[in-house]
């Protein structure tokens, strides 16, 4: 049945009509236990979702929507290796990468766990050799710099985890992440004798990655003067080992992953090699274990106590009923500064779709625009728009309870700002309150009339607050898996395939064509805007 024909959808539409004018603050006045009622703890995370425009009835209806959308059944399909990515005929098995049990996991009637364990063992042995200085460069020196060359999921996940867990890193190893930018400025800072390049590409055909990998290879060969040096300084992580080999990488140095791991879900696989080199396999295993704890919570907790489901339903409530187009993720934790970028790909490449599983155009909106940056930077940039702008922007606040920085005072400043922002968003400041404050600070009547309307903060802005005890590999794993499953539930409810990404292909094809056409007049190939822009390139001036 179409989403908009489901009984729960229609009940939610009716509920919205009578409910939408209600203020969150009034809900708090009438529901003294709201914090207890709308909060939830898992092994690693605590979620306060009480500052949302929901009451018990809203929540019951949203849960009904999840039931009628068969979220539990689709979950079962995913965990059991069904090819739910049906447009690419692929299973979706990133959860197998963090399976902590002896439970077999089948794809096409084959248990994939032995292959997963074999590759991770290979990664572990390799990483230990590098970390213990047994792996030497062409001139006999140990590795000091690790350069991850990759883009999208082959970059965003690893850079996020390495950054977030930097304090677990081996001190004499440094990491560099190069995606589409020119690698040369990085190479200029490095010594070829002590540099290890990891070429990460599921397809091993991604233009940006291969171009930078070629530049790095040339740079190395110029210094080493011997083709054999490549095998000491280049390894690959890819689902296309043949292409990696033809690039010149030794078969033993190609770490495999599989078509049932989507790029944006791949940080748990050998794609995490750069992170493993820095923090060691033990810490990486703790990351996987944290993700597994969230997988188990997601798999087994009833919908109403299921953290990813709750976040997903709140997102649907704002996107589809309140018309919110965006969603902000704000970590009050510098170590998570890369998280919003990773979530941008995870969420927008997964749920930025407008065709349902049955091939029909949706008559409702799907995935919102995801953005964010660490607090308090964001407060001094775009929070004005959240407090006083015309768009509704729901926010997830994230913060550690314990020691995020070297100073207790700074930690408490961060906590205070994080809690203050969600309180201010919810509470706002009324005209009467502002007038009283202006009067108390000595403003005259004329000044009060002029100023007061500009200072009104409407309030009633929704937010979630996610707490973790401390940022360690386990809590980070749980946090990332939480968002993966949230995206999954939303995709199920929106009736889309969250696991393909056909939308990015056309641009790639056109870029290939335009590169060919850039220097030759090829009338009729392109529209006059594109042709006009290309002509400027040919002329070399504006």
Active site residues: 349, 380, 508
- Shortest distance (Å) from residue 151 CB to ligand F6P: 5
151 or 159: whose CB is closer to ligand F6P? 151
332 or 483: whose CB is closer to ligand F6P? 483
150 or 428: whose CB is closer to ligand F6P? 150
- Shortest distance (Å) from residue 222 CB to ligand F6P: 26
Q: Which of 50, 195, 201, 350 binds ligand F6P (CB under 6 A)?
A: 201
User: Segment contacting ligand F6P (CB under 6 A): 82-90, 146-154, 211-219, 414-422?
Assistant: 146-154
Residue 206 sits in the site that holds ligand F6P (CB under 6 A): yes
Nearest to 40 by CA among 484, 482, 488: 482
- Shortest distance (Å) from residue 313 CB to ligand F6P: 26
50 C-beta neighbours (distance < 10 Å), count: 22
Nearest to 157 by CA among 41, 273, 4: 273
Q: Which of 151, 279, 418, 487 binds ligand F6P (CB under 6 A)?
A: 151
Residue 290 sits in the site that holds ligand F6P (CB under 6 A): no
206 or 404: whose CB is closer to ligand F6P? 206
User: Segment contacting ligand F6P (CB under 6 A): 89-97, 201-209, 275-283, 472-480?
Assistant: 201-209
Nearest to 213 by CA among 225, 238, 309: 238
204 or 284: whose CB is closer to ligand F6P? 204
User: Segment contacting ligand F6P (CB under 6 A): 85-93, 113-121, 195-203, 301-309?
Assistant: 195-203
User: Segment contacting ligand F6P (CB under 6 A): 52-60, 174-182, 202-210, 455-463?
Assistant: 202-210
- Alpha carbon distance 266, 163 (integer Å): 17
52 or 266: whose CB is closer to ligand F6P? 266
Burial (0-12, 13-18, 19+ Cβ within 10 Å), 514: middle
Residue 153 sits in the site that holds ligand F6P (CB under 6 A): yes
What character string, x for contact with ligand F6P (CB under 6 A) and - otherwise, covers 478-507?
-----------------------x--x---
User: Segment contacting ligand F6P (CB under 6 A): 9-17, 196-204, 221-229, 329-337?
Assistant: 196-204
What residues contact 317, with CB distance under 8 A and at least 6 apart? 12, 52, 53, 54, 58, 62
- Shortest distance (Å) from residue 302 CB to ligand F6P: 33
Nearest to 324 by CA among 431, 460, 492, 456: 460
Residues 220-279 contacting ligand F6P, CB under 6 A: 263-264
> Alpha carbon 389 to chain centroid distance?
26
Residue 209 sits in the site that holds ligand F6P (CB under 6 A): yes
- Shortest distance (Å) from residue 239 CB to ligand F6P: 8
348 or 378: whose CB is closer to ligand F6P? 348
59 or 483: whose CB is closer to ligand F6P? 483
Residue 352 sits in the site that holds ligand F6P (CB under 6 A): no
Query: For residue 345, what are its two tokens?
Result: 């790909």
Residue 202 sits in the site that holds ligand F6P (CB under 6 A): yes
Q: What are phi and psi of 504, to 5 degrees?
A: -85, -10
Interaxial angle between packed helices 56-68 and 473-493, expressed in degrees from 0 to 180 and rounded to the nearest 10:
70
- Shortest distance (Å) from residue 213 CB to ligand F6P: 11
What character string, x for contact with ligand F6P (CB under 6 A) and - otherwise, covers 310-349?
---------------------------------------x
User: Segment contacting ligand F6P (CB under 6 A): 172-180, 199-207, 328-336, 420-428?
Assistant: 199-207
- Shortest distance (Å) from residue 450 CB to ligand F6P: 51
Residue 127 sits in the site that holds ligand F6P (CB under 6 A): no
- Alpha carbon distance 52, 20 (integer Å): 11
Asked if the bond preceding 376 is cis, omega within 30° of 0, the reply is yes
Residue 203 sits in the site that holds ligand F6P (CB under 6 A): yes
- Alpha carbon distance 456, 331 (integer Å): 26
Element (H, E) at 255: strand 254-256
Nearest to 399 by CA among 5, 47, 142: 47
- Shortest distance (Å) from residue 27 CB to ligand F6P: 40
User: Segment contacting ligand F6P (CB under 6 A): 5-13, 203-211, 295-303, 486-494?
Assistant: 203-211
CB 351 within 8 A of CB 389: no
Residue 212 sits in the site that holds ligand F6P (CB under 6 A): no
How many chain residues are in contact with ligand F6P, going by CB under 6 A? 14
Which residue(s) pair with 369 in the sheet?
326
* Full DSSP string of 77-143: HHHTT---BTTTTB---GGGGG--SS---EETTEE-HHHHHHHHHHHHHHHHHHHTT-SB-TTSPBP
CB 111 within 8 A of CB 91: no
3-state secondary structure 256-272: ECCCCCCHHHCCCCHHH
Element (H, E) at 47: strand 45-48
- Alpha carbon distance 305, 42 (integer Å): 9
Q: Which residues in this chain contact ligand F6P in the complex, by CB under 6 A? A: 151-154, 201-203, 206, 209, 263-264, 349, 501, 504
């Amino acid at each position: 049945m179409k989403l908009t024909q489901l009984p729960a959808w229609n009940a939610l539409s009716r509920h919205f009509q009578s409910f939408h004018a209600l203020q969150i603050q009034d809900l708090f006045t009438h529901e003294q236990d709201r914090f207890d009622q709308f909060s939830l703890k898992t092994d690693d995370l605590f979620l306060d979702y009480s500052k949302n425009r929901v009451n018990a009835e809203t929540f019951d209806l949203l849960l009904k929507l999840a039931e009628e959308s068969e979220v539990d059944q689709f979950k079962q399909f995913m965990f059991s290796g069904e090819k739910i990515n049906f447009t690419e005929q692929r299973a979706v098995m990133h959860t197998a990468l963090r399976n902590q049990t002896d439970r077999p996991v089948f794809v096409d009637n084959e248990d994939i766990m032995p292959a997963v364990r074999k590759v991770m063992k290979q990664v572990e042995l390799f990483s230990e050799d590098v970390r213990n200085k047994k792996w030497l460069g062409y001139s006999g020196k140990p590795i000091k710099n690790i350069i991850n060359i990759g883009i999208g999921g082959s970059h965003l996940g690893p850079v996020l985890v390495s950054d977030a867990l930097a304090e677990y890193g081996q001190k004499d190893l440094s990491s560099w992440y190069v995606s589409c930018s020119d690698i040369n400025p990085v190479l200029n800072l490095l010594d070829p004798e002590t540099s290890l390049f990891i070429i990460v590409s599921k397809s091993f055909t991604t233009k940006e990655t291969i171009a930078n990998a070629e530049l790095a290879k040339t740079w190395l060969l110029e210094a080493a003067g011997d083709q054999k040096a490549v095998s000491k300084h280049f390894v690959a992580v890819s689902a296309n080992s043949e292409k990696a080999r033809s690039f010149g990488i030794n078969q033993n140095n190609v770490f495999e992953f599989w078509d049932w791991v989507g790029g944006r879900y791949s940080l748990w696989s050998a794609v995490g090699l750069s992170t493993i080199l820095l923090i060691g396999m033990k810490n990486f295993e703790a990351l996987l274990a944290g993700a597994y704890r969230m997988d188990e919570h997601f798999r087994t907790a009833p919908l109403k106590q299921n953290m990813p489901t709750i976040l997903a339903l709140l997102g649907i409530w704002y996107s589809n009923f309140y018309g919110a187009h965006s969603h902000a993720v704000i970590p009050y934790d510098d170590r998570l500064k890369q998280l919003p970028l990773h979530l941008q790909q995870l969420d927008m490449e997964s749920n930025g779709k407008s065709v349902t599983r049955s091939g029909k155009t949706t008559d409702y909106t799907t995935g919102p625009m995801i953005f964010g940056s660490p607090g308090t930077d964001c407060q001094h940039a775009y929070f004005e728009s959240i407090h006083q702008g015309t768009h509704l922007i729901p926010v997830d606040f994230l913060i550690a309870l314990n020691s995020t920085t070297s100073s207790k005072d700074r930690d408490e400043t961060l906590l205070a700002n994080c809690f203050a922002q969600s309180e201010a968003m919810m509470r706002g400041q009324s005209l009467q309150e502002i007038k009283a404050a202006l009067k108390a600070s000595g403003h005259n009547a004329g000044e009060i009339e002029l100023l007061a309307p500009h200072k009104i903060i409407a309030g009633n802005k929704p937010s979630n607050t996610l707490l973790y005890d401390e940022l360690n590999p386990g809590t980070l794993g749980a946090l990332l898996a939480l968002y993966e499953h949230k995206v999954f539930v939303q995709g199920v409810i929106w009736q889309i395939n969250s696991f393909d990404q056909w939308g990015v292909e056309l641009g790639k094809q056109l870029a290939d064509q335009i590169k060919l056409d850039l220097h030759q007049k090829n009338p009729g190939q392109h529209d006059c805007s594109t042709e006009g822009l290309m002509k400027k390139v040919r002329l070399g001036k504006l």
